[in-house]
Amino acid sequence: MKYSKIIGVLVLGIMIASSIAAGMGVFSQQGPGPWEHESIRGQTVTIYGQGLYKHMSADVAIQGIGQDYVTLFLGIPLLGLAFLMARRGGLRSRLFLSGVLGYFLVTYLFYLAMGTYNVLYLVYVFLLGSSFFAFSLSLMGFEIKRLPEAFGPRTPIKLAGGFLIFNTLAIALMWLGVVVPPLLDGSIYPVELQHYTTLIVQGFDLGLLLPLSFVSGLLLLKKRPLGYLLVPVYLVFLCLLMTALSAKIVAMGLAGVSIIPAIFVIPTVLLINLICTVLMLKAAAPQEA
């Protein structure tokens, strides 16, 4: 596997740093508790008031802790396992490693951009940089032109490509439903903005992740070589991200927030995502590509 030593050092750093970041997110509890804050736009926001995310709004902090559980007890072990498997050079394990690295890249891009400043700022900076370079080097190790021949006739091209395109359109419509109505009625600022400077999740999704999902699915449907790389990697990444989203929903439910119908919709989408991922990786030949 190309760049194996460099990726190994970066993976070790990511595992250590993310253990610190996620562990503090889950277990830190210092602080006075919830309190009310009036944003610059006059909106009253309940601040979480304890732990690492004490200056974040209560609902966002709870979701962050939910994702930290997934990162700590699922993401980090999977990252270590994926790297150990990828060292043997198998195509499936290398695609899986790239997808897991993509999860860490996106996770700490969001944490660095959206999380209110805290003691782990430089840890988030390190995690963003190390995961970006590990992810990039992992992708650079594939010979893209040879990938189509490495996938068998049972490759779920229509299912996987169609799922990513559908997922793109569904999430895009959901986020536009948050952003557009206030622009039309003149209020401009969505309620979801709370006391933050801008809508980070919606912005990164609409500007970066959803276009990548759509293009990946389209390339696979057209049987382009790049589609055979992007789709399995994106599906693995999305499995972890949707698992984290499911954990966020459960955390909000435990806090007394209504989670209907999300508690049914999100796990269903995750199940479809998981099926596509397994079938896509299973269709890949074990040899190098």
Q: What is the pTM of this model?
A: 0.96
148-207 pLDDT tens trace: 999 999 999 999 999 999 999 999 999 999 999 999 999 999 999 999 999 999 999 999
Shortest CA distance to 119 belongs to which of 214, 12, 20? 20
Ranges of residues in the chain whose predicted pLDDT is under 50: 289
Angle at 207 between CA 204 and CA 213, to 5 degrees: 90
Return the pLDDT at 289. 46
Token couple for 280: 């896509």
* Domain ranges within the chain, ordered by starting residue: 4-283
Cis peptide upstream of residue 261 (ω within 30 degrees of 0): yes
Spatial neighbors of 181 by CB under 8 A, at least 6 apart, are 190
Which stretches within 143-261 are classed as H helix? 147-150, 157-185, 200-204, 210-221, 225-254
Determine phi and psi for 265, rounding to 5 degrees.
Answer: -70, -50
Return the pLDDT at 88. 85
* C-alpha pair distances (Å), 236 with each of 33, 230, 279: 37, 10, 11
Contact assessment for residue 50 and residue 33, using Cβ atoms and an 8 Å cutoff: yes
Which stretches within 44-120 are classed as H helix? 58-70, 76-86, 91-114
CB atoms closer than 10 angstroms to residue 47: 22
SS3 content of the chain, % helix, strand, coil (to 5): 75, 5, 25
Angle at which helix 210-221 crosses helix 157-185, to 10 degrees, equals: 150
234-259 pLDDT tens trace: 999 999 999 999 999 999 999 898 88
Query: What percentage of residues in the chain have a pLDDT greater than 70?
Result: 98
